Chain A
Amino acid sequence: MNIHGLSALVTGGASGIGAGVARVLARAGAKVAILDRNAELAQATAAEIGGIAIACDVASDASVQQAVAAAQAAQGAARILVNCAGIDTARKIASRKTGAHPIGPMQRVIDVNLVGTLSCCAHASHAMLDLAPLDADGERGVLINIASVAAFNAPNGQSVYAASKAGVVGATLPMARDLARYGIRVMTIAPGLFDTPLAGTMDDAMTGQVLRQVLFPKRKGRPDEIGALVQHICENQMLNAATIRIDAGLF
């Protein structure tokens, strides 16, 4: 699809990878709605890119449904959804010192990263089903999820986060199969270490350790590099149902 003039939803778009994606899509001419829990930061980012901000907690299905409807009322039904909203918790599944991983944060990470992503895909794609096709191939929209390389190869302390992201990778193919008849594509991006507030919670030693494992280039990725990949996925119609690792070779 040519994204110029299309309506796009970016969850978690106020900061980090989401803000990078929102910026790139806006620069390419999309009308961007930032769906984020942090309304204040969402406003600031939206103002910067000429988009709109909508308060949304992706872990609440009602909140997602309302946000998708609000964005549609403001700028038309979305043709693009990018699920960037995500949280991390670094804790071993059990250890002598910290005991068993508490169910509270476990549930929260799964609710935000996995259930939240599925919920956004459900509501956004539902709103796409009856839109006019954009081209002769019948394309109606594209859903792009942000997983993580942790889905494939996660360090210790990341079992819950890895499970949440692996769930997103696993859902990609059946969602693409569900939505193919409507001309809606589903893709997932699995980023490595990027310069984001989430990655910023890692201490310097841990960051250094990860960067030593990175093949090339040996630096944190920039959110706009995820944005460029999102834009390419939107524009390249043959990309469907795949998960693309973008990690400078982090294994």
Chain B
Amino acid sequence: MKLEGVAAFLTGGASGLGAATARVLAEAGAIVALLDRDMVLAEPLAKELGGVAVKCDVADHDSLKAAVQQACAAIGPPRIAVNFAGIDVSRKIASRSQGPHPIASMQREININVIGTLDGCALFAEQMMNLEPFEDGERGVLINIASGAAFNGPPGQAAYAASKRAVAGATLPLARDLAPYGIRVMTIAPGFFKTPLASSVDDKHIDKLIAMVPFPKRWGDPREIGELVKHICQNRMLNGETIQIDGAMR
């Protein structure tokens, strides 16, 4: 699909991978809606990009539904929706010093990363399916963000890896559900990118992580995710697939 003038909704669009992607899509002519919990970050970015900021907690269905309606009223129904909103709780499933991973933190992670993504797909697709089709009958594209941890999770990441593997696992049935409407579904599994989420890791651990990246030996730049999102939007033959982008870190 061509990006010029189309509405793109990004959950978690106020910071990190979401913000960088919003910038890349806006530069390509899309009108962006940033759906985020953090209005202090979302509002100035939306203003800079000529888009809108909408307050939203993806783990809360009513909040997400209201945010979708508000964003549609402001810039029209989405042709592109990217589910970036996610959290990472780094904690071993059980250890002598910390005991079992508390259920509340596991539940919260699954609710945001998995249910929030699925609910986003449901509500965004509902808006897309009545739009006028473009070339080939294409109506829209949904892009979800998994993680390298979905395939190769380090210690302390059981709940996170489970949540991200779930997102990767949903990709094919989502694509099958929405193919009749000309809506594509793709997932991106990023490795180690320079985001606020990754920056919460301590310096010693970061050096160890970067040493594990075969090439290029650096953090990924969030704009590189944005460029991949843009390519997926433009290349219609990409559907139902999860793309790993991680500098070969396995």
A232 close to B227 (CB less than 8 A): yes
A183 close to B215 (CB less than 8 A): yes
Contact of A180 among B182, B215, B243 (CB under 8 A): B215
A137 within 8 A of B: yes
**Residue of B whose beta carbon sits closest to that of A172:** B248
Q: 0/1 per residue, B168-202, Cβ < 8 Å to A?
A: 00001001101110111000001101000000000
The contact sample of 9 A-B pairs, CB cut-off 8 A, is A183-B215, A192-B237, A215-B176, A217-B136, A229-B231, A235-B227, A238-B216, A238-B245, A242-B243
A177 CA / B247 CA spacing, docked (Å): 10
- What's the least CB distance linking A12 to chain B, in Å? 19
B243 close to A229 (CB less than 8 A): no
- What's the least CB distance linking B84 to chain A, in Å? 16
Interface SS of chain A: loop
Known interface pairs A238-B220, A238-B246; A245-B228 also in contact (CB < 8 Å)? no
**Residue of B whose beta carbon sits closest to that of A250:** B240
User: Could you list 19 further interchain pairs (A-B, Cβ under 8 angstroms) beyond the known A236-B231, A241-B214?
Assistant: A137-B218, A192-B237, A215-B176, A215-B239, A216-B136, A216-B175, A216-B183, A229-B235, A232-B228, A232-B231, A241-B246, A242-B243, A242-B246, A242-B248, A244-B241, A245-B240, A248-B236, A248-B239, A249-B172
Residues on the A chain within 8 Å of B244, using CB: 241-242
Residues on the A chain within 8 Å of B172, using CB: 249, 251
A176 within 8 A of B: yes
Q: 0/1 per residue, B207-234, Cβ < 8 Å to A?
A: 0000000111110110010011001001
Please report the total number of A residues contacting B with Cβ < 8 Å: 38
Known interface pairs A180-B215, A235-B227, A251-B172; A216-B184 also in contact (CB < 8 Å)? yes
A185 within 8 A of B: yes
B50 within 8 A of A: no
A221 CA / B246 CA spacing, docked (Å): 27
Residues on the B chain within 8 Å of A183, using CB: 215-216
B248 close to A240 (CB less than 8 A): yes
Within 8 A of B (CB), among A1-58: none
Residues on the B chain within 8 Å of A247, using CB: 237, 239-241
Q: 0/1 per residue, B140-167, Cβ < 8 Å to A?
A: 0000000000000000000000000000
B238 within 8 A of A: yes
Q: 0/1 per residue, A222-248, Cβ < 8 Å to B?
A: 100100110010011111111011111
**Residue of A whose beta carbon sits closest to that of B138:** A217
A60 CA / B234 CA spacing, docked (Å): 38
A176 close to B236 (CB less than 8 A): no
Name the residue among A185, A238, A244 with the largest chain B CB count within 10 angstroms: A238
Name the residue among B190, B191, B216, B245 with the largest chain A CB count within 10 angstroms: B216
- What's the least CB distance linking B111 to chain A, in Å? 28
- What's the least CB distance linking B99 to chain A, in Å? 37
A76 within 8 A of B: no
B214 close to A236 (CB less than 8 A): no
B250 within 8 A of A: yes
Residues on the A chain within 8 Å of B239, using CB: 215-217, 247-249
A241 CA / B250 CA spacing, docked (Å): 9
B243 close to A244 (CB less than 8 A): yes
Known interface pairs A229-B235, A245-B241; A240-B179 also in contact (CB < 8 Å)? no
Q: Which 8 residue pairs spanning A and B have beta carbons closest together?
A: A180-B214, A241-B248, A249-B240, A215-B179, A180-B215, A240-B248, A216-B179, A217-B136
B250 close to A225 (CB less than 8 A): no
Residues on the A chain within 8 Å of B193, using CB: 238
B215 close to A185 (CB less than 8 A): yes
A171 within 8 A of B: no
A229 CA / B175 CA spacing, docked (Å): 20
